[in-house]
Every structure is written in structure tokens, then in C-alpha cells.
Structure 1
Amino acid sequence: MYEHLVVFKFNSSYQPQQEQQLVQTLLGLRDQIPGIIGLTAGVNVTEETGNIHGYTLGLRVTFSDQEALRAYGPHPAHQHFVAMLEGIIESVVVVDYPVQG
């Protein structure tokens, strides 16, 4: 299995009412892309201060294997989500790693 972690930071063009549409689109990927065995997404509600650096949306996807992870990026459903970010995204952090144990 592989984990795919992503956090998003939006620019000033971003409207907070877009959050639920983005979250729902991300959650929909679970049923559209083969090899996803778990997916969660949501708006950052941390109470920690000083460490979030403006990142307000998070995504965690568990893939069955590395091949499924590689097929995710170019998949049309994922590309649709990427297109939704055009003009509103400032920064994205991505971490992919094999699950140990």
C-alpha cells in the first residue's frame, strides 16, 4: 500500500464557500479511480498556532500499490480536480510513501 498526503494553501482569489465543493470533489475520487482503498479529505480545523502556514485543506489517499498511485495523477477525475484549483491555489505540499508494517 501507498499513502498520498496533500495539503493545499489558497491565494486571495479563493472564496471560503468553495471549500465544500472541493472536499466533495475529492471524496468522489474514491469511487472513480481504481486502486484507491481509502480516502479522506477535509478543511483544516487545527487549534495549533504557528505551524499551519496557511494550509487549509487536506487530503489523504491510500492506494493498493505503487502502480495505482502512479495512475492517479493522469486520471481524468483527478485532472478535473486539478483544473478546479486553477487561479486559486498558492501552494501544495505532497508526500507519498509506502506503508510500513
Structure 2
Amino acid sequence: MYEHLVLLKVKDSFTAQQQEAAVKKALAFKEAVPGILSISAGIIETENPQHKQGFALALRLTFEDKQACLDYDAHPAHQAFLQEIGPYTEDIIIADYPF
């Protein structure tokens, strides 16, 4: 199996409603993209700003294998999501690892 973790720092112009909509769209990847075993996504609620470091959204996807993760990256649903949130994104951290 292969894990894909994402943290997104977004601009102030990305409203709470838009963040909630982004989470729902990310969760829909499970039905749209082959190879995803599980997914979770949410708005970060970490209270300590030192720990949060301005990041607002988190996603965790578990794939069958590394190839499924690579296929997801190129998938039209993922690419459309990136296009939609791209203008609101300030920074992103991605960590991928097998387990």
C-alpha cells in the first residue's frame, strides 16, 4: 500500500464555504479515481498556530500501490481540483510513502 499526505496553506480569500466544498470534492476522489483504498480530508482545527503554521486543509489518501498514486496525480478529477484551488493556494506539503 502507498500513503499520500497533503497539507494546503490557502489565501485569506479562500472562504470557509470554499474550503468545505474543496473537502467534499476531495472526498469524491474515492468514487472517481481507481486505486484509492481510503481517503480522509478536512479543515485543520489545530489550535496552536506554531503547530498549524497557517495550513488550513489536510488530505490523506491510501492507494493500492505507488502506481495508483501516480495515476491519481494525472487523473482528470484531480487535475480539475488542482485548477480550481490553485489560485487560492499559498503553499503545499506532500509526503508519499509505502507501508
Corresponding residue for residue 30 of structure 2: 30
Partner of 2:52, secondary structure, is coil
| Residue 10 of structure 2 is aligned to residue 10 of structure 1 | yes
Q: Which amino acid aligns with 1:13?
A: S
CA apart distance, 1:14: 1.5
Paired residue for 1:50? Answer: 50
> How many corresponding residue pairs?
99
Between 28-37 and 44-53, the greater mean CA deviation after superposition:
44-53
Counterpart secondary structure, 1:85: helix
Where 1:14 maps in the other structure, the secondary structure is: coil
Q: Counterpart of 1:70?
A: 70
How far has the Cα of 1:86 moved from its partner? 2.5
Note the residue ranges of structure 1 that are not aligned, 5 or more in a row. Answer: none
Aligned-partner SS, 1:51: helix
Separation in 1, partners of 2:27, 2:64 = 17
Alignment gaps of 5+ in structure 2:
none
Identity of matched residues, %:
38
Cα drift, residue 5 of structure 1: 0.1
Deviation at 1:61, TM superposition (A): 0.1
- The structure with the largest helix share of the pair is 2
Q: TM (normalized to structure 2)?
A: 0.94
Q: 8 Å contact 1:13–1:87 — kept in the other structure? A: no
State the Cα distance separating 1:47 from its structure 2 match. 2.7
**3-state SS, counterpart of residue 60 of structure 2:** strand
Moved over 6 A (4+): none
Q: Secondary structure of 1:60's match?
A: strand
Three-state SS of the structure 1 residue aligned to 2:7 is strand
